């Protein structure tokens, strides 16, 4: 059966517009999934929406409001949308409880960590550039993948090159998550959940690399395949 994948969107509070990069949509289509775009809804309605999808893709985008973690904003804080933050955090907590397959990309990985009680770094200090100015399909730094991780099994490589468009990163992964890839400066570049069939966070943007890189496409194919086989199972998280 085809998997319906709920995809979260960016929100521009200045113009009142929701928007999303087509690359996510195409990557889902290419791997046999059916994407549907999810806009923020009330918490009481989230279980109803989650019942309609087989997988959740948390997309990239702006920064997460530091006040949610009880922190003051640093000087380099980017654009934030508390509407989007609250929606994605609540939805992800519920999706984790249902064991719904979840792929979190860039900001989406950070949302996943926070929804599991993890923490993020507001502004990375590193000699490695994590906010590249090159086009999105250009790979600019390497990541080292932990052997015996789900990601290693998916990529079948120990070291891969990736693109990088983040100035925030995951500091602690949250309950049941563990880091599974690092850049050379020790930044967590991917994480996965030990007690979940597929809940993976990727700090780079595989949706801009999947066309030419088998390993990057495998991230989507593994996610969609889990979504196709998804059977609801409640977890005590
Ligand atoms: Mn990076």
Q: For tokens 């490589």, what's the residue?
A: 157
- How far away, in angstroms, is 235 Cα from ligand 1 center? 31
Predicted local distance difference test score (pLDDT) of residue 51: 95
Q: For residue range 146-160, what is the model confidence (pLDDT) as tens digits? A: 999 999 999 999 999
- How far away, in angstroms, is 106 Cα from ligand 1 center? 9
- How far away, in angstroms, is 200 Cα from ligand 1 center? 16
Instruction: Give the C-alpha distances (Å, rounded to integers) separating 204 from 47, 229, 234.
Output: 29, 26, 29
- How far away, in angstroms, is 205 Cα from ligand 1 center? 9
- Give mean pLDDT, residues 183-211: 97
> Which candidate, 194, 235, 196, 199, places its Cα nearest to that of 219?
199
- How far away, in angstroms, is 237 Cα from ligand 1 center? 29
Six token digits for residue 208: 């801009």
- How far away, in angstroms, is 140 Cα from ligand 1 center? 9
Cα Dmax for the chain:
48
- How far away, in angstroms, is 136 Cα from ligand 1 center? 12
Predicted local distance difference test score (pLDDT) of residue 155: 95
Outline where DSSP puts E strands in the chain.
4-8, 10-12, 17-19, 34-38, 55-58, 102-105, 119-121, 141-145, 159-162, 169-172, 177-183, 188-193, 199-202
Predicted local distance difference test score (pLDDT) of residue 13: 87
- pLDDT band of 117, cuts 50, 70, 90: very high
- Helix (H), strand (E) at residue 226: helix 214-228
- How far away, in angstroms, is 139 Cα from ligand 1 center? 10
- Give mean pLDDT, residues 168-184: 97
- How far away, in angstroms, is 217 Cα from ligand 1 center? 18
- How far away, in angstroms, is 49 Cα from ligand 1 center? 32
- How far away, in angstroms, is 2 Cα from ligand 1 center? 32
Quick check: 15 pLDDT over 70?
yes
- How far away, in angstroms, is 1 Cα from ligand 1 center? 35
Quick check: 45 pLDDT over 80?
yes
* Every domain of the chain and the residues it spans: 4-228
- How far away, in angstroms, is 165 Cα from ligand 1 center? 7
Cα separation of 164 and 189, whole Å? 10
- How far away, in angstroms, is 166 Cα from ligand 1 center? 6
Sign of CA dihedral 161, 166, 167, 172: negative
- How far away, in angstroms, is 179 Cα from ligand 1 center? 14
Q: For residue range 72-90, what is the model confidence (pLDDT) as tens digits? A: 999 999 999 999 999 999 9
- How far away, in angstroms, is 30 Cα from ligand 1 center? 25
Quick check: 237 pLDDT over 70?
no
Q: How many CB atoms lie within 10 A of CB 235?
A: 13
Sign of CA dihedral 43, 230, 58, 158: positive
Q: How many residues does the chain have?
A: 237
CATH number for the segment(s) 4-228: 3.40.50.880
**Percentage of the chain exceeding pLDDT 90:** 95
- pLDDT band of 231, cuts 50, 70, 90: confident
What global pTM score does this model have? 0.96
Predicted local distance difference test score (pLDDT) of residue 235: 61
């Amino acid at each position: 059966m085809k998997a319906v994948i709920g995809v979260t969107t960016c929100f521009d509070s200045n113009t009142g517009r929701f928007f999303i990069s087509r690359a996510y949509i195409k990557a889902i289509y290419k791997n046999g999934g059916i994407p549907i775009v999810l806009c923020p809804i009330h918490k009481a309605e989230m279980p109803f929406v989650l019942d309609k999808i087989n997988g959740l893709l948390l997309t990239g985008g702006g920064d997460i409001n530091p006040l949610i973690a009880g922190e003051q904003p640093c000087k380099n804080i980017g654009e934030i949308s508390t509407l989007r933050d609250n929606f994605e955090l609540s939805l992800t907590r519920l999706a984790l409880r249902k064991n719904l397959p979840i792929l979190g990309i860039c900001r989406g990985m950070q949302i996943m960590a926070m929804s599991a009680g993890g923490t993020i770094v507001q502004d990375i200090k590193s000699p490695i550039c994590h906010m590249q100015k090159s086009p999105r399909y250009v790979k600019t730094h390497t990541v080292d993948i932990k052997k015996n991780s789900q990601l290693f099994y998916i990529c079948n490589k120990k070291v891969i090159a990736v693109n990088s468009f983040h100035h925030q990163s995951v500091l602690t992964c949250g309950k049941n998550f563990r880091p599974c890839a690092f850049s050379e400066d020790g930044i967590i570049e991917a994480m996965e959940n030990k007690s979940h069939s597929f809940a993976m966070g990727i700090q780079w943007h595989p949706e801009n690399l999947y066309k030419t890189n088998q390993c990057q496409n495998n991230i989507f194919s593994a996610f969609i395949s889990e979504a196709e086989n998804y059977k609801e199972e409640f977890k005590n998280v």
